[in-house]
Amino acid sequence: MKETFFLQVTPGFEKLAKQEFALKFPGLFPSIAIPEGIIEKGGITIELPMAAGFQLNYWLKIPNRILLRVSQFKCRDLPKFYNKVSKINWSPYFAGQDYEFHISSSESRLFDSRRIEKALKDGLDKCLKNQEPKKKARQRVETTKDWHLFCRFENDWCTLSVDTSGERLGKRGYKSKVGLAPLRENLAAGLYLYTLLSCPPIETLEWEKHFKEYGTPSLTLVDPFCGSGTLLLEAALFYEPNLFRNFSFEFFPLWENKSTPLKKNNRPSALNLDLPLFLVGSDIEQDRINDTEANLKEAGLQGTHHALNLGDICSKEFGQKSAREIFSNSQIVAWCMMNPPYGKRIKQPVDHFDLLETLSNWGPWQRIGVLLPQAQKLKKLPKGVKLISSLQFENGGEKVSYFLYEKELSK
């Protein structure tokens, strides 16, 4: 039996989230035909067996949450809404833990969120009295406070969905050090995939063939503004399950006595690909380097990074030293991905043109990705630098673009 799941993502990342799903799903569930999935603003609707949908929480790195649709019905008044909620069988998912409602309404007769919330609470309380959770189920949920119910009214249709994730999925559980202006982890993962899919652009769904050819060279990933190491961590862990935290579905009564065969010590990959990835982080502040080192260690990656250099990207000495290390082997593919300060939360803006010009003098980058405000798109580029594409979204309320460049090889 299939259930309806909604992969909730940051607007602008819907297509990337569907591409990640299409990439990873066949290797994870080879006996299940890959579902098409419908892209909507802010997410993707997919029909899956329940266990498969739950376990996507371990593997997908771009979504914010994974919601399970519990009920959908037409409703134009609060009494009917209350009756519907009170008669739903919540016992597979709910055992009396603390809860939080997320209510939205569009073009519906029911729009007062306070009255909707009261009807939801009353209906849930009545249901809980009629469907008293077992003692064992109550004991299991004592260790979690996260239970989120999403209620959406649209054109008088009500959709009730249970959150299977708990804390948003961007909170990985393996990163305790945070910088001053961090990029959310799920956005960093999306930018990594966006960069990878551009080398070269994928025209078909031959994912595994593409990644074996283009996703597994000796890749050196450089972040000159590494901060707490978010971009480096997300690239290194993109194919691995997140086993560093718990998810709400693990505390659902229906999941009792079920366990995942995943273990932290064997570090399984969604594609069984052994990626020879070398990480190079740089920052002008020693505290940020210390943060990155601590986070790499916490994630079990301290033995995988090629180098972690401290220096000023614009200094001649540091630039020349880094260029020699990165470009000494012509077989190594070099990427540069960065989230430099642009004068908002950190009042040290970096000149976009000067940054590209400095980097282009280092060597033949396959890709240079720079996250900056949309208004900072350059009308003129340094010699030898070509804009490949850009991705627009919001980061911390700021409209930004991820500008993707390549260093054209000399003819």
Cis omega (within 30 of 0) on the bond before 200? yes
CB atoms within 10 A of CB 183: 21
User: Amino acid identity, residue 172?
Assistant: R
Interatomic CA distance for residues 121 and 153, integer angstroms = 16
pLDDT under 50: residue ranges of the chain: 202-205, 207, 215-216, 263-265, 270-274, 345-346, 411
Indicate the DSSP class of residue 249.
Answer: G
Assess contact for 229 and 296: CB atoms under 8 A: yes
Tell me the fold of 2-163. Answer: VC0802-like (3.30.2130)
Predicted local confidence at residue 132, as pLDDT = 66
Interatomic CA distance for residues 142 and 75, integer angstroms = 34
Task: Supply the pTM of this predicted model.
Answer: 0.89
Assess contact for 229 and 44: CB atoms under 8 A: no
Predicted local confidence at residue 102, as pLDDT = 95
- Would 2-163 and 185-242+273-407 be classified into the same CATH topology? no
Q: Which residues pair with 78 in a beta bridge?
A: none
Cβ burial of 172 (10 Å; 0-12, 13-18, 19+) is buried
What residues does each domain of the chain span?
2-163, 185-242+273-407
Interatomic CA distance for residues 23 and 34, integer angstroms = 10
Give CB contacts under 8 A, 24+ apart, made by 51-54: 51/258, 52/28, 53/3, 53/5, 53/164, 54/164, 54/247, 54/249, 54/255
Decide yes or no: CATH 3.40.50.150 for domain 185-242+273-407.
Answer: yes
Q: Are strands 333-338 and 219-223 parallel, antiparallel or unpaired?
A: parallel
Predicted local confidence at residue 259, as pLDDT = 59
Handedness of CA 161, 95, 48, 196 (dihedral sign): positive
Q: Which helix (H) or strand (E) holds 367?
A: strand 367-373
